Amino acid sequence: MERVENVASFGGFQQVWKHTSKSLSCEMKFAVYLPPQAEREACPVLYWLSGLTCTEQNFITKAGAQQFAAEHGLIIVAPDTSPRGDDVADDEGYDLGKGAGFYVNATQEPWAAHYQMYDYIVDELPALVNDRFHTTGAQSIFGHSMGGHGALMIALKNPGRYKSVSAFAPIVAPCEVPWGHKALGAYLGDSPESWRQWDTCELIADASERLELLVDQGDDDQFLAEQLQPERLQAACEAAGHPLKLRMQPGYNHSYYFIASFMGDHVAHHAAALRR
């Protein structure tokens, strides 16, 4: 790994690293915030998954998370949202290809060669982080929009691995909405049956761990009715008896203004679980 950015922030350091990913067969970047506590003790890790069109930069420059990570002594890791490079397949649309990995393992060409984001987030990246940085081994996960889908889905598919999970305006039912139809159809093929293992609402019914889902959703979100549909998540959780704290936030849209407004709540939620 090579460090390419290192900037002081709230007593700690905001860094960006690059490395060659075995899972994705390309060079990747990820951001790491090291709180001041990391200089003297092991710290738990909170993973952030960003949404469509983002890189590792959107979160670290817009979310305002560093001050809360410093307060609670958490390392925050924010990877890119897809594989990158000239050899990586792409699409003209913003919602497929680079910037739109959807945190799944692609099985279809031309995507399968590089788009193995699930393996990267779940296995490869944590191994790198725990090897390079002084961590306790405890981890949690959260994200926004496509990244909210990724965070909820990954936590549900990996019981016992994450201490807590939360999301801002997540895509909760990709099997049922246009963003999901396009991405899952391309990455996984035309059979909706193969999509279900990547769909939060489908996974809830058989979840073996009852980890509470904290979800914030703005009621002025431009994608609320067509793409996000949090009522589907609420119905799935009620049917399965799965704990959900869904907070509809009046007046907020899909932007990082919304994310920054409630970032302190989310980091505190994860810190309480990670520091137990």
Q: What span, in angstroms and rounded, lies between the C-alpha atoms of 192 and 184?
A: 8
Our answer to whether residue 220 is catalytic in this structure is no
Domain that residue 17 falls in: 2-274
Mean local confidence (pLDDT), 115-136: 98
Total count of domains within the chain: 1
Q: 144, 149, 254, 269: which is the annotated catalytic residue?
A: 254
- CATH code assigned at 215: 3.40.50.1820
**Residue 262 reports pLDDT greater than 90:** yes
Q: Which tens digit of pLDDT belongs to each residue from 11-32?
A: 999 999 999 999 999 999 999 9
Q: Which of 21, 140, 145, 164 is catalytic?
A: 145
Cα pseudo-dihedral 177, 190, 147, 115, rounded to 10: -160
Q: Say whether 221 is catalytic.
A: yes
The residue from 221, 242, 266, 270 that is catalytic is 221
25 tagged catalytic:
no
**How many Å apart are CA 91 and CA 232, to the nearest integer?**
29
Give tens-digit pLDDT for 166-182. 999 999 999 999 999 99
